[in-house]
A and B are shown apart, each in its own frame.
Chain A
């Protein structure tokens, strides 16, 4: 992949870096009340969706035939519980992606609002915020797509790039893939433990115990909330509540899995070696982020639901820029990429997710890295599957 990085001469590269810097400086200087309104409205909307979801899940119980209220109605029951579960699932998605992930990146620290600070936000899933900030903000964003350094490449259990060394264990990865999808929040929870290093003997179990205890302290209230306390409140009708909460969490797991896997695994994404990034300048860091990230096309609602990670490239170039600004910045970044002859990986959800799944299947078998020539970027076209 060094061929890619040598595409730009040092001068051109520096100029590229300055242009990206200029975009960043301009947007950061223009943060103001409309941005503040955006995040505050989103927090408000998310919490209302959560309350409405839980309320619907409980209200549906009165329509059960066994309920003592005497207004049995299966249609009412099913509609309410479906809507409630969907609402709760969407609330969890919004909280984890557009709120939690972005707030913990420090995107909203500038507001000096103590409720919306990266230092204190705890998000609604089983992963402790402290560990997420370490494994994601520090490790993943610094070492993006560097083999052997970025733990997000395969999450320690899968081989997603030919540059990773093959091992017969990876033949099972279609199963790991499914498990990660279904139980994604649990994968995220233990991510910072680097379990694969413990299994390979590179890390001792003892040194990870404090982290494991911290995870348990997060897990217990979360699990109690959804799978114990709310169902118990329903008394003899705990089953629908329990099922609804399980499914809401499952909805969040599947959606976040899909969006996050589309971030760096679709066809055309690039990986790097530790040698590639030695002595990296800021401009080179920008270039690596651009080459290693992939966007997903979609409408406004899709972008919000994906936590604006559909703008993965912009997010990796500007991790602490308020997420609502990625949309306006994207055409500018795309234009810069085109002018410097650099790829800009953007595709439909089907294309990005589809090629990701194909990659997971393909790389479970032995393979050799292919030295792709990414070609030049055509104006208004990303690196689409067709080219």
Chain B
């Protein structure tokens, strides 16, 4: 009987898992050290550092299963607030060359942002956060291009910082132009490090623009314009541009590059802003059923189960009154309103919802 090493290992693993069924060994290992969680990646907060009054860098030690990131990539981070887990995406600001097993993320407390506020103010060293694997294609090509142009604003500098640190660690920054917008000179994130980089690497051309400074001589114009780019970087048409920042900046850059016929040069990184405040007005919208591809208009008065049935679908259901959770379905995007209480909740993508007692509030995409 042929028994290869891998199949023998598989058999051994199956018998080993029987010791813990229906759980896995990981469930018990976690009791000793949360970082030994093989099923769900965790990270320990090793230290925190306040870059500015409202911006904090957290040094995280990822647990088992982590793989090295590429400069510019991001991770999903989960944080528990009042018992409930919220998930947001943050760029990794540390370079992949860092070899002490840690990464850093830099979080800015956005005004009205519940999760960012909690991360910046309440998460202490020694706590554990669930994280995802690094993702994203906002990266430099493997063979570093001869010329790149970075346009960043505020906390949008984080993925670029990873790139700059990476290139710096590998010797010298190549011919790179970097325009960074920041409100004031005194609260530029990584301010000191940026100035040091500019001093150490003559081929790294940096321009800091202060959007809220009064009549500072350094600020010629305060917000992005195509003319500003041309003046700063003469050969901007020949460069690939990486832009990361608020919606307005990304839009302005995209428009400018499209008009110049250079849409293929743009690399954008953007994370969804905090969702709109929930309103309790009954609001209809377009309901899209992902699996069947159907789309219907809904008034917002009827629960999603009936909307689906009226659209010709036959979703699983049970008591039809919000007791048994037999109708749980995944809402991929949008807001839903609990018809029992009137409360509107936004669904973080993939949230399971009892469709017999939830009506749509606005456009909704549902996995049915």
Contacts and interface: CB of A to CB of B under 8 A. Distances in A.
Contacts of B19: 225, 229-230
A25 B84 CA distance: 18
B18 A225 contact: yes
A34 B21 CA distance: 29
B21 A225 contact: yes
A138 B348 contact: no
A230 B326 CA distance: 36
B18 A32 contact: no
Interface string A110-135: 11111101110011100000000110
B144 interface: no
B48 interface: no
Interface in B278-322: 318-319, 321
A111 B351 CA distance: 11
Contacts of A114: 40
Most buried by A among B18, B22, B86, B354: B22
Size range of the chain A interface in the assembly: 35 or more
Contacts of B328: 106, 118-119
B85 A142 contact: no
B83 A35 contact: yes
B367 to A, nearest CB: 12
Contact of A134 (B18, B40, B326, B343): B326
B324 A25 contact: no
A225 B22 CA distance: 10
A359 interface: no
B28 A47 contact: yes
A108 to B, nearest CB: 9
Given A119-B328, A138-B319, A138-B326, A110 B18 contact: no
A248 to B, nearest CB: 15
A168 B13 CA distance: 52
Contacts of B352: 109, 117, 119
B341 interface: yes
Interface string B6-30: 0000000001001101110001100
Interface residues of B, number: 31
Contacts of A123: 22
A229 to B, nearest CB: 5
Nearest to B27: A47
B83 A32 contact: yes
B83 A221 contact: no
B22 A142 contact: no
Nearest to B14: A221
Contact of B83 (A25, A47, A111, A224): A111
B325 A105 contact: yes
Interface in A34-81: 34-37, 44, 47-48, 51
B351 A142 contact: no
B15 A229 contact: yes
Interface string A301-332: 00000000000000000011000000000000
Interface in B50-66: none
B35 to A, nearest CB: 16
Given A225-B19, A229-B18, A320 B84 contact: no
B80 interface: yes
A285 interface: yes
A138 B321 CA distance: 11
Given A112-B84, A229-B15, A138 B324 contact: yes
A110 B84 contact: yes
A13 B238 CA distance: 76
Nearest to B341: A25
Contacts of A138: 318-319, 324, 326
Interface string A250-283: 0000000000000000000000000000000010
B22 A33 contact: no
Contacts of B325: 105-106, 109, 118, 133, 137, 320
A36 B80 contact: yes
B277 interface: no
A37 B80 CA distance: 11
Given A118-B328, A119-B328, A142-B324, A222 B21 contact: yes
A5 interface: no
B252 interface: no
Given A33-B83, A142-B318, A230-B19, A137 B28 contact: no
A37 B323 CA distance: 24
Contacts of B340: 21, 25
Given A109-B352, A112-B351, A117-B352, A141 B18 contact: no
Nearest to B317: A138
Contacts of B15: 229
Nearest to A108: B83
Contacts of B348: 112
B21 A221 contact: yes
Contacts of B31: 44, 47-48, 51
B227 interface: no
A281 B56 CA distance: 53
A33 B80 contact: yes
A351 interface: no
A117 B352 CA distance: 10
B324 A319 contact: yes
B1 interface: no
Contacts of A31: 83
Given A44-B31, A118-B325, A225-B19, 17 more contacts: A32-B82, A32-B83, A33-B82, A36-B80, A36-B83, A47-B28, A48-B31, A106-B325, A109-B325, A111-B83, A112-B86, A112-B348, A137-B318, A141-B324, A229-B18, A282-B321, A320-B323
Interface of A: 21, 25, 28-29, 31-37, 44, 47-48, 51, 105-106, 109-115, 117-119, 122-124, 133-134, 137-138, 141-142, 221-222, 224-225, 229-230, 282, 285, 319-320
Kindly list the 9 A-B residue pairs having the minimum CB-CB distance in the complex, ordered from nearest.
A36-B83, A138-B318, A122-B22, A106-B325, A142-B319, A137-B324, A112-B85, A221-B21, A32-B82
8 contacts: A47-B23, A111-B84, A113-B85, A117-B352, A123-B22, A138-B318, A141-B324, A142-B319
